[in-house]
A = this chain, B = another copy of it.
Amino acid sequence: MFKEVIEEMKQRVYQANMQLPQLGLVKLTWGNVSEINREAGVIVIKPSGVNYKDMTPEKMVVTDLKGNVVEGEKLRPSSDLATHVVLYEQMPDVQAIVHTHSTNAVMWAQAGRDLPSYGTTHADAFFGSVPCTRQLTNEEVINQYEENTGKVIVETFRERNIQPTEVPGVLVYGHGPFTWGDTPKKAVENSLILDEICVMARETEQINHKISAIPQYLLNKHYFRKHGDTAYYGQS
């Protein structure tokens, strides 16, 4: 049964990885998706630098909760695995993580700015600004860079008192977006939404230089229309 669980995770992680180039979120090999099963004690993640056309569910790499490869040793896991591990450790409600270099989200990450909630498209998925981390220091980059990337994300959410389940994504300064969710599919969907609201926000500012975020009551309305006990969007 443990084996079945892992096979299903591989299938889901594979499918979600394949979605990334199809949705235009990833060029070349610039992205990775993982899923965790804390009870089974495993993380499944994309192998590093493998072309999408050569990928199969079998090539997904299985690690323990510390990121040590336990299966599929022929292929190295994504070089960003250590970031995923830190996020899974520190964000217990997160089940799946996606990292991309999607064009529009990278622009904001490179600009080093939080993404303001300028409209309901944003509010439907992210309950408030999507934060941009601080720049990593020299020391944080030289040693355990990927681990420290995870740590600065966690720090950002803690210091600003943001719930990862309510704002399922982040912009890493000078780098790009990470998003998460209950399933690999949902985490990919959040990547798609984040990229879309990044382009919307950028051009909103061009059209009206003085625009400000939508009022809190509209943010509340749209977020809770789709999330939590009061949700009434979609089929029950």
Interface of A toward B, CB cutoff 8 Å: 27-30, 47-50, 75-76, 79, 101, 103-104, 106-113, 118-121, 135-136, 138, 141-142, 145, 174-176, 189, 192-193, 196, 199-208, 211, 214-215, 217-218, 221, 225, 232-236
Contacts and interface: CB of A to CB of B under 8 A. Distances in A.
B218 A79 contact: no
A2 B65 CA distance: 54
B110 A221 contact: no
29 contacts: A27-B193, A27-B196, A28-B193, A30-B121, A48-B235, A49-B235, A50-B235, A76-B236, A79-B232, A103-B196, A103-B199, A103-B200, A104-B203, A106-B119, A106-B200, A107-B203, A111-B208, A112-B211, A119-B174, A119-B176, A120-B174, A135-B215, A141-B217, A141-B218, A142-B217, A145-B225, A174-B214, A205-B207, A206-B206
